Amino acid sequence: MAKQPKNAISPRRDEDYSQWYQEVVKAADLAENSPVRGCMNIKPWGYALWENLVDNLDARFKKTGVKNAYFPIFIPLRFLEQEAEHVEGFAKECAVVTHHRLEKGPQGGLVPAGPLTEPYVVRPTSETIIGEAFSRWVNSWRDLPVLINQWANVVRWEMRTRIFLRTSEFLWQEGHTAHATEAEARERTLQMLAVYEDFAKNEMALPVLTGEKTPAERFPGAVSTYCIEAMMQDRKALQAGTSHFLGQNFARSSQIRFQSDQGVDELAWTTSWGVSTRLVGGLIMTHADDDGMVMPPAVASAHVVIMPIAKDPAVREGVMEYAQSLKRELEAQTFHGRNLVVEMDDRDAGGRAWDWIKKGVPVRVEVGPRDMAENAVFTGRRDTPGHKKESMPRADFVAKITDILGEIQDNLYRRALAFREEHSVKLDGRDEFYDFFTPENPETPGIHGGFALSGWCGDPACEAKIKEDLTVTIRLVPISGEKEACPCVLCGKPSEGRVVFAKSY
Amino acid sequence: MAKQPKNAISPRRDEDYSQWYQEVVKAADLAENSPVRGCMNIKPWGYALWENLVDNLDARFKKTGVKNAYFPIFIPLRFLEQEAEHVEGFAKECAVVTHHRLEKGPQGGLVPAGPLTEPYVVRPTSETIIGEAFSRWVNSWRDLPVLINQWANVVRWEMRTRIFLRTSEFLWQEGHTAHATEAEARERTLQMLAVYEDFAKNEMALPVLTGEKTPAERFPGAVSTYCIEAMMQDRKALQAGTSHFLGQNFARSSQIRFQSDQGVDELAWTTSWGVSTRLVGGLIMTHADDDGMVMPPAVASAHVVIMPIAKDPAVREGVMEYAQSLKRELEAQTFHGRNLVVEMDDRDAGGRAWDWIKKGVPVRVEVGPRDMAENAVFTGRRDTPGHKKESMPRADFVAKITDILGEIQDNLYRRALAFREEHSVKLDGRDEFYDFFTPENPETPGIHGGFALSGWCGDPACEAKIKEDLTVTIRLVPISGEKEACPCVLCGKPSEGRVVFAKSY
């Protein structure tokens, strides 16, 4: 019997995927559950990753003419009520502020006091409060388009939470734009979807599919919702970003009106689009392995860790100087427009290399007296099996580091893409579709299923039945590529093309 | 009689300072009051300024070893109650979340539902929730120091609000550190104070004084509170940043304990320090004038605006190309480590130059067919009286732009410093002190007073009496410089040195 290699993370993915995820988050020191129900503490190593996602996306938004602004965290109840579908969608998960101070209660402890005449909701999203501002900012066609983004925290009181993927409070960006014409608003919706797609693929190494949500899966109040969807390593789908064409629904409820260039009073057309700290969860579930986190270099909290071997006081000073000058040479270089971030770990600790493997740093370097004598470095890559290490002339390493990072970045993308393709299948028969999504043993469902590319007749009843039977939903209806006519996988009626069915987070 | 120049802002500072401030915020399009009580919408031009403050400070924090993280917006009541002085200080101004969903009420509208068993407070500051995390993160002296910063929104339910200066919700950073020794924690407290001081002086062109607060003015729960204080143009003081040495008070209430290198179980020593969007208010009240906002180039939302004169279709293309290439040449340069931000305003609007004056952009450039023919530009500086414009060879302008920005930056600092010095006086007699802070006509108090550098015996009763009589407080007790013995300005008993008295925001 082959010897089972010992992994840093227990359980392994194939043993208990959900627990594996929790253990990776913990071992990589990315975040932790907080004592506040459903909320997390994002720790420095996890927050640095989020900052890199933020900086990169922010620059991409600004390039398209979007400007940042900030709106209140509290939304008056009457604002939320203006759009019927919208309030319906969020009423069940709102944190409500009802008082504005604390007082000594009858038992001596503090109790809420100073009741508000109108309660506030902690924003679950900001269409209504930003819509109110737009209604004042926009008077003429000359004031359009308005292109605004906000980086903010939002609260949705989720019943079942999972760190990064679904938390009661999360960090996100929400873009909100208003336009004079439907065509321009639709174009902006798809433009931002394309920004997300490019960002996910090229920076996060996430192979995402893009498409449109069915009416049942739309954002409450939207006319069309578009999304990027990625496959996690348990073959479930993760919605990683959405872009909504809101038509005139919110313009009507917020009264965003303008005088057109023809002198006619018109309602504006609006969009909104967002990604959140959920992206970090998607990154972990896509790239991490049984030894812990794996960070794509373009967004990694650090690119390289240098570990000097300098226990012996006789060589310590020399080795440290060798390591420090190497650090400076690396930090002077850039990868994907960002200066290399290099950690120096001079702890005299046996487990330090494993610490950095679990944290997912792309490249590890050890330098000791022997490397120094040979003007060499001893390097290891996070994306290679067994964490194989090799010695390399120092000058070569410095000259090649951005190529190495580029290879790792490409490798991670290719690996994730191959995984998705391996588990995406065209299924036309109802039985094979049901088999595909049904675990062999329902007691220990394990990892099964994937993306089923199948027909759907367009009837919400077929969609609902599949959801009820299998907890499988239509993740998206493709908006590009060739359409392949096929039967609806449930009722057999004709479908114009294939849609993507999957279980999801 | 000299002709009264017409200003862009009405009223002028000397007519109604408070109203002038509101009008500048409006004319410069920095922010607006929101429909949510005491909260503001920060508009793009104001938010860009805030982003520059954030980026600059963030880099300074990181240079000292601080890492960013994020903690929940909600604080369980029992956490707040752990530190007696702390909860006392914040109980009167807390937004309290008591419910987690909305339901149709008897009148048909939505009402709060799903009462929480324990209410949450929307964070007014995060010592207690971060302390809980530190208590788990720290076990041994090897885990110390912990150096954390959080960029976040906080809520304090203020009764009287004023945009940027005192709002119910504001944006800020809060640093929180834990140390093994008192000396190290005290050193960190003063190190961050020095970061704020240097940042205020060199980036914001704010001449600030540094010192320690009296016990009456301390942060609730702190052992020592240090601050930077600036003089506004109405001669009132603005506390622009604080750094607190918290002793072991919060370590005790949160149980941040560690085993020392001697194997002894000890309590950690903690600090916290913060600045907020209030800085934007301070910037306006220091530099703006009767024509609107004035932005110091180092943190300005944009450095330069180019206004092409290209109405005539025959020359439009050429002038626009001339303007665009100028923009590119400017944007390739850096000032205070940041690439120049250049706005292009090609509107055919008479008032556009005044728009940019009101917005406070440091340098304006007009380019028309004549300038193009002469290879020249027509420039105006925001810091010169009368907005005098001059023609300059284009190449000279491009070569000198960073020098020009540097001159403006220095000018603004020098002007603010001279203003503060002009209105800072040593006062030893009680009567002259009372006169200094008493307007000639109480009905129309106008601008009066300033910083009184006077003695204080150390008795809280003297401090309280002055506050009651004059609404004047001790802004700070200097911690450096020579001490000049003098009498307490109220009771005449000896004082070791002078402290700074002022009215304040």
Q: Which residues of B touch A171 (CB under 8 A)?
A: 70
**One-letter identity of residue A414:** R
For residue B100, which residues of chain A lie inside 8 Å, CB to CB? 93-96, 157
- Residues in contact with A381: Cβ distance below 8 Å, sequence separation at least 6, in sequence order: A362, A363, A364, A387, A388, A404, A408
Of the candidates B152, B144, B159, which has an alpha carbon nearest to the alpha carbon of residue B256?
Answer: B144
Question: Do A486 and A376 share a domain, yes or no?
Answer: no
Round to whole Å and give the CA distance between B424 and A452. Answer: 76
Q: Do the domain assignments include residue B11?
A: no
The Cα–Cα gap between B174 and B123 comes to 12
pLDDT digits (tens, 9 = 90+) for A465-502: 999 999 999 999 999 989 999 999 999 999 999 999 99
Statement to judge: residues A88 and A197 lie in one domain: yes
B135/B167 same-domain check: yes
With CA atoms as reference, the chain B residue closest to A147 would be B44
Q: Which of A132, A208, A499, A394 is nearest to B35 (CA)?
A: A132
> Do B493 and B351 sit in the same domain of this protein?
no
CA-wise closest residue to A49 among A69, A33, A31, A63: A31
For residue A67, give the chain B residue with the closest CA: B44
Q: Which residues of A touch B112 (CB under 8 A)?
A: 96, 98, 119
Query: CB atoms < 10 A from the CB of A443, how many?
Result: 5
Residues B61 and B138 in one domain: yes
Angstroms from A96 CA to nearest CA on chain B: 5
CATH number at residue A145: 3.30.930.10
Query: At which of B268, B287, B306 does a domain end?
Result: B287
> Are B315 and B369 within 8 A, CB to CB?
yes
**Structure confidence at residue B317 (pLDDT):** 94
Is residue B5 assigned to a domain?
Answer: no
What HEC string does B366-429 produce?
A: EECHHHHHHCEEEEEECCCHHHCEEEEEHHHHHHHHHHHHHHHHHHHHHHHHHHHHHCEEECCC
Decide if B153 and A152 are in contact by the 8 Å CB cutoff: yes
CB contact under 8 Å between A42 and B69, yes or no, is yes
Which range marks the domain in which residue A327 is found?
Answer: 304-410
Asked if residue B151 is part of any domain, the answer here is yes
Q: Are the beta carbons of B36 and A74 separated by less than 8 Å?
A: yes
- Between CA B169 and CA B288 the distance in angstroms is 24
The tokens describing B100, both together, are: 């987690």
The answer to whether B132 contacts A35, with C-beta atoms less than 8 Å apart, is yes
Q: Is residue B185 part of a domain?
A: yes
Per-residue confidence in pLDDT tens, chain A, 505 aa: 444 457 899 999 999 999 999 999 999 999 999 999 999 999 999 999 999 999 999 999 999 999 999 999 999 999 998 888 888 889 999 999 999 999 998 988 899 999 999 999 999 999 999 999 999 999 999 999 999 999 999 999 988 999 999 999 999 999 999 999 999 999 999 999 999 999 999 999 999 999 999 999 999 999 999 999 999 999 999 999 999 999 999 999 999 999 999 999 999 999 999 999 999 999 999 999 999 999 999 999 999 999 999 888 999 999 999 999 999 999 999 999 999 999 999 988 778 999 999 999 999 999 999 999 999 999 999 999 888 889 999 999 999 999 999 999 999 999 999 999 999 999 999 999 999 999 998 888 899 999 999 999 999 999 999 999 999 999 999 999 899 999 999 999 999 999 999 999 9
Give the largest CA-CA distance in chain A.
84
Q: Please list, in sequence order, all residues whose beta carbon lies within 8 angstroms of the beta carbon of residue B69, skipping any fewer than 6 positions away.
A: A41, A42, A43, A44, A47, B148, B149, B150
In a domain, B10, yes or no: no
Q: With contacts defined as CB-CB under 8 Å, which chain B residues touch A92?
A: 101-102
Q: Which of B421, B442, B459 is the last residue of a domain?
A: B421
Inter-residue contact A359 to A29 (CB < 8 Å): yes
Q: Which CATH number is B402's domain given?
A: 3.40.50.800
- Whether residue A314 is contained in a domain is answered as yes
Q: Is the separation of the CB atoms in A291 and A7 below 8 Å?
A: yes
Comparing CB atoms, the residue among B42, B74, B99 nearest residue A96 is B99
Q: According to the model, what pLDDT value does residue B497 have?
A: 96
Q: Same structural domain for residues A147 and A228?
A: yes
Contact A73 B153 (CB under 8 A): yes
DSSP 3-state of B279? helix
CB A88 within 8 A of CB A220: yes
In the DSSP assignment, the letter for residue B29 is T
Are the beta carbons of A92 and A141 closer than 8 angstroms?
Answer: no
Which of B147, B390, B392, B365 is CA-nearest to residue B272? B147
Q: What are B110's strand-pairing partners? A: B104
Q: Which of B39, B92, B99 sits opposite A98 (nearest CB)?
A: B99
User: What is the DSSP code string of A148-213?
Assistant: EEEEEEEE---SS-BTTTB-SEEEEEEEEEEESSHHHHHHHHHHHHHHHHHHHHHTS----EEEE-
The answer to whether residue B7 sits within a structural domain is: no
Q: Which amino acid is at B70?
A: Y
| pLDDT tens-place string over residues B461-503 | 999 999 999 999 999 999 998 999 999 999 999 999 999 999 9
Pairs of CB atoms within 8 A across A/B: 188
Average the pLDDT over B201-213 and give the result.
98
Position A237: which residue type?
Answer: A
pLDDT digit string, tens, across residues A106-159: 988 899 999 999 999 999 999 999 999 999 999 999 999 999 999 999 999 988
Residues with Cβ within 8 Å of B178's Cβ and at least 6 positions away in sequence, in order, are B134, B138, B144, B145, B146, B185, B251, B256, B268, B269, B270
Domain boundary among A259, A287, A315: A287
CB < 8 Å to B155, chain A: 73
ipTM for the whole complex: 0.96
CB contact at 8 A, A221 and A89: yes
Return d(Cα B351, Cα A68) in angstroms, integer. 25
Are A97 and B95 a contacting pair at CB < 8 A?
yes
Burial of B271 (0-12, 13-18, 19+ CB in 10 A): buried
> Which pair of tokens denotes residue B60?
């300074």
Q: How far is A385 from chain B (nearest CA, A)?
A: 31
The strand pair at B31-33 and B40-42 is best described as antiparallel
CB contact under 8 A, A98 and B96: yes
Residues of B in contact with A148 (CB under 8 A): 44
- CATH number for the domain harbouring residue B452: 3.30.110.30
Quote the CA–CA distance of A6 and B382 in Å, as a whole number.
Answer: 67
Residue among A154, A94, A102 nearest A274 (CA): A154
Is there a single domain that holds both residue B254 and residue B199? yes
Asked if B375 and B394 touch (Cβ cutoff 8 Å), the reply is yes
Question: Tokens representing B209?
Answer: 């004084």
- State whether A262 and A340 are in the same domain: no
On the CB side of B230, how many CA atoms lie within 13 Å of its CA?
A: 28
Distance CA B437, CA B433 (A): 7
Beta carbons of B34 and A87 less than 8 Å apart = no
CB contact under 8 A, A102 and B77: yes
| pLDDT at residue B435 tops 50 | yes
pLDDT, mean over chain A: 96
Whether residues A85 and A21 share a domain: the answer is yes
d(CA A457, CA A430): 13
How many domains does the structure of chain A reveal? 3
Give the ranges where B64-167 is alpha helix by DSSP (H): 77-80, 84-90, 127-137
Taking the CA atoms of chain B, what radius of gyration do you get in angstroms?
Answer: 26
**A228 and A374 together in one domain:** no
Q: Cα separation of B391 and B370, whole Å?
A: 11
Among the partner residues A71, A91, A169, nearest to B102 by beta-carbon distance: A91
Task: Note if the bond before A119 is cis, omega within 30 degrees.
Answer: no
Nearest to A112 among B79, B87, B98 (CB): B98
Q: What share of chain B is helix, strand, coil (3-state, %, to 5)?
A: 35, 30, 35
Question: Are residues A212 and A278 located together in one domain of the fold?
Answer: yes
Note the helical H segments in B140-293: 182-202, 249-254, 278-287
Q: Label the pairing between strands A40-42 and B498-502.
A: unpaired
What one-character DSSP code corresponds to residue B266? E
Q: Which of A70, A77, A79 to mutate to test the interface with B (most CBs of B within 10 A)?
A: A70
Q: Cα separation of B279 and B290, whole Å?
A: 20
Assess if residue A261 is contained within a domain. yes
pLDDT at B5: 57
Asked if residue B357 and residue B257 are part of one domain, the reply reads no
Is B455:B470 a contact under the CB 8 Å cutoff? no
**How far apart are the CA of A251 and the nearest CA of chain B, in angstroms?**
17
Three-state SS at A50? helix
Q: Which tens digits make up the pLDDT trace of B344-389?
A: 999 887 789 999 999 999 999 999 999 999 999 999 999 998 888 8
User: How far is Cα B329 from Cα B331, in angstroms, rounded to an integer?
Assistant: 6
- Closest residue in B to A169 (Cα–Cα): B72
